[in-house]
Amino acid sequence: MKKCIIFLLVLLFCSSFAVHAKTELGVGASVDYWVMPSREPEPFDPSNIYFGPVIRMKQFIFQLDLGFRTETDFYGLWSYLDLEVCLDIFLFRISGGLGINYNYMIQSTNSYFGYNAKANVDVKLSKFSVGAYLMLPFIFEDGGITPFSMKATEDGFVDFVPASLGVSLLFWL
């Protein structure tokens, strides 16, 4: 049911492009650093750096954000689709929203489907924008929300999908 609601919201957003003339399209790249949830600070680990293309479409106060990521050693592919509410204040674009993410691990053929909450702050400089964002994955489990997608596996281990801190550079058409 939740997947259906998210799909209908995205479909409604995309179909409204024909009604409104003012649509902005941004194409660019982003770099993420995945932060594992723990009580103690962890040292910087270059294997937690991910990169990939990003596409953003903004119309009125809504923004559709589509991104793809891969690890530096190409072990897996990760994608997300977010519907966000955004405000343009002077040079800044502040946005936040919810979406879905999908992770496919190439070597093990395991896949993961979940949800995320995302917050962006972009600085628009003419046709370019530079931004920073925080993405927090979560799942619906036992009638509640579990942050960071912490779920027990069959063998008793806890499977983590980490939070993501990132920067993006986009060119607006």
Domain membership of residue 137 (yes or no) is yes
CATH number (domain holding residue 149): 2.40.160.20
**C-beta contacts of 67-72 below 8 A and 24+ residues apart:** 67/30, 69/30, 69/32, 71/47, 72/46, 72/47
Instruction: Using the structure block, give the residue that is written with the tokens 């793809």.
Output: 68
More confident call, 84 vs 140: 84
Question: Quick check: is 168 in a domain?
Answer: yes
Find the domain containing 84 and state its range. 23-172
In a domain, 79, yes or no: yes
* Residue 9 is assigned to a structural domain of this protein: no
- The residue count of the chain comes to 173
- Considering only CA atoms, which of 72, 78, 70, 76 is closest in space to residue 100? 78
Domain-embedded: residue 15: no
Mean pLDDT of the chain, nearest integer: 77
- pLDDT, residue 158, reads 47
CA separation for the pair 78, 140 (Å, rounded): 20
Q: Provide the domain count of the chain.
A: 1
Out of 30-34, 54-58, 82-86, 131-135, which region has the weakest mean confidence (pLDDT)? 30-34
Report which of residues 84 and 43 the model is more confident about. 84
pLDDT in tens, 114-146: 788 899 999 999 899 999 999 888 766 666 555
pTM: 0.74
**CA 173 to the chain's CA centroid:** 21
